[in-house]
Amino acid sequence: MITVRLNNAEFFAYHGFYPEEQLIGGRYLIDITVTFEPQGELNDELPQTVDYQAIYTICKEEMATPRKLIETVAHAIMKRIKNGYPYITELDVILKKLNPPLGGTVAYSAVNVNYQAAKKSIGI
């Protein structure tokens, strides 16, 4: 198994339930962990792994689409990564909204969505 991580990818985006959040925007951090079984013998080529540049691009594109809930954003990122790499066995996406407008000091609010492939049973 191999694990690829993208940590603290930072974006400025316009997500939020309240209209002023969608006008003002805010800063977000994304952590992604992808575990997979290599596709054949590793030979230093991208098609045999999970390309973290492609994962970053997916995050960038999804963050550019304003949504009310960060849960929806995180789920869209997870779905696109999973569809792009069907051999993934585990996928974890954490989306943090920095300094959320909650009426007090809060470093961030966050959601975590994950996927785990069904384990293949071995017949005996």
> In the CATH scheme, what is the code of domain 2-116?
3.30.1130.10
Q: In the chain, what are the domain boundaries?
A: 2-116
Each residue of 27-46: pLDDT tens digit?
999 999 999 987 777 777 66
Nearest Cα neighbor of 66 from 16, 10, 111, 100 is 16
CB 12 within 8 A of CB 30: no
Q: What is the pTM of this model?
A: 0.87
CB 21 within 8 A of CB 51: no
Each residue of 100-122: pLDDT tens digit?
888 899 999 999 999 998 876 56
